[in-house]
């Protein structure tokens, strides 16, 4: 959520046309918007503390705004073709959705068709049709359903006990446990998750459910195409062997291609983690692009394996603040100021 003081500044930027100024200034750049899920308007639960699932009405409002301001929607393939043929990037926007939630097909896709919007959904191939949750969502569900406000977790042999008595303490527990697990290799993380195998629960939020292959196959690739988000959603920077990279990058690509019937050329780094070795593997396996979670626009010089994205906030004023480039400009000014300040000490 936006803090009240920051919200006041954002509102001032909008009222006095500063967002409009920066939107005009950045009109020759490309925006790749970053979403996860689109949920019902009635959903306002603990799981949305990190705003990963945006309500349908807000998503519709965002697309309407982009349409009114003259943005051109493209799929990722159309964007890469624009780069390859050195055409102008002016006011292009690509919608991207990480993880492959079912609500992208049931909620986002119909709204996209209303506004002739286009984009790419990145699948964790090992989860599609499995009935399983993304491991981060599984952990959140375990914590939310823990009894008596206490969650016990063994991490690297040490027993950790989290006491939770309000919404904030639940949120802090979710963040801390997930951050700890993200530091592990895929094999280590899977071993740590085994401690919850005996906990039976069917109380999984609908918004966490992953689409099945039939639902994915129903998508028109000219509107919402499919990309890869690995097979098991590991932190790729923790992988070390060529066999692991083949499993997560190549096998995921091959499986998705087999199920949808067309080439999978686009990739999304889990948690935004990548390095030169990972990019080399992507190139070797035939991927043509990859998106990061670095907040910025894309211009003609952007590396296609390091495409920047702008997160889509559920707050409409913040959304306009972000896509205009006002936020990016202020962040860069702050970085330059503090960097110079630090040099003097």
Residue 341 has pLDDT above 80, yes or no: no
Among residues 305, 216, 226, 322, which one has the least CA distance to residue 269? 305
Single out the residue of 53, 57, 60, 68 nearest to residue 23, CA to CA.
68
Lowest mean pLDDT of 8-22, 192-206, 286-300, name the range.
192-206
Give me the residue spans of the domains in the chain. Answer: 4-129+209-343, 135-196
pLDDT value for 2: 47
Give the whole-angstrom CA distance, residue 3 versus residue 114. 33
pLDDT tens-digit readout, 74-128: 999 999 999 999 999 889 999 999 999 999 999 999 999 999 999 999 999 999 9
Reported confidence tier of residue 200, pLDDT bands at 50, 70, 90: low
**138-185 per-position pLDDT tens digit:** 998 888 888 778 999 999 999 999 999 988 899 899 999 999 998 888
Contacts of 243 (CB under 8 A, 6+ apart): none
CATH architecture of the region 4-129+209-343: Alpha-Beta Barrel (3.20)
Cα(321)–Cα(311) distance, integer angstroms: 11
Find, among 236, 305, 240, 237, the residue nearest to 266 by Cα: 305
Q: Using alpha carbons only, how large is the chain's radius of gyration in Å? A: 21
- Are 291 and 41 in contact by the 8 Å Cβ rule? The answer is no
Rounded to the nearest 10 degrees, how much is the dihedral formed by the CA atoms of 76, 82, 86, 89? -90
How far is C-alpha 65 from the chain's CA centre?
A: 21
- Whether pTM > 0.85 for this model: the answer is yes
- CB contact at 8 A, 144 and 196: no
| 231 pLDDT tier (thresholds 50, 70, 90) | very high
């Amino acid at each position: 959520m936006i803090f009240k003081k920051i919200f006041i500044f954002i509102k001032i930027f909008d009222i006095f046309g500063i967002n409009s100024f920066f939107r005009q200034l950045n009109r020759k750049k490309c925006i790749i918007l970053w979403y996860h899920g689109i949920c019902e308007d009635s959903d306002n639960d603990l799981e949305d503390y990190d705003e990963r699932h945006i309500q349908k009405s807000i998503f519709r409002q965002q697309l309407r705004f982009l349409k009114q301001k003259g943005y051109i929607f493209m799929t990722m393939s159309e964007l890469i073709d624009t780069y390859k043929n050195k055409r102008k990037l002016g006011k292009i926007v690509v919608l991207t959705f990480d993880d492959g939630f079912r609500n992208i097909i049931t909620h986002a896709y119909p709204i996209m068709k209303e506004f002739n919007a286009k984009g790419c959904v990145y699948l964790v191939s090992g989860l599609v049709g499995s009935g399983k949750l993304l491991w981060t969502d599984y952990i959140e569900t375990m914590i939310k359903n823990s009894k008596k406000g206490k969650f016990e977790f063994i991490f690297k042999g040490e027993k950790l006990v989290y006491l939770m008595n309000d919404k904030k303490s639940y949120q802090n527990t979710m963040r801390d446990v997930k951050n700890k697990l993200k530091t592990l290799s895929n094999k280590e993380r899977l071993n740590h998750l085994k401690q919850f195998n005996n906990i039976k629960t069917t109380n999984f939020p609908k918004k966490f459910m992953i689409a099945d292959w039939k639902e994915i196959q129903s998508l028109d690739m000219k509107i919402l195409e499919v990309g890869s988000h690995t097979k098991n959603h590991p932190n790729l920077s923790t992988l070390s062997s060529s066999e692991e990279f083949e499993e997560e990058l190549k096998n995921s690509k091959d499986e998705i291609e087999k199920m949808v019937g067309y080439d999978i050329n686009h990739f999304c780094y889990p948690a935004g983690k990548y390095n030169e070795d990972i990019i080399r593997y992507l190139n070797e396996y035939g991927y043509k692009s990859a998106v990061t979670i670095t907040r910025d626009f894309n211009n003609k010089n952007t590396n296609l394996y390091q495409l920047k994205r702008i997160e889509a906030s559920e707050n409409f004023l913040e959304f306009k603040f972000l896509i205009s480039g006002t936020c990016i400009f202020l962040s860069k000014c702050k970085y330059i100021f503090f960097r110079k300040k630090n040099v003097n000490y």
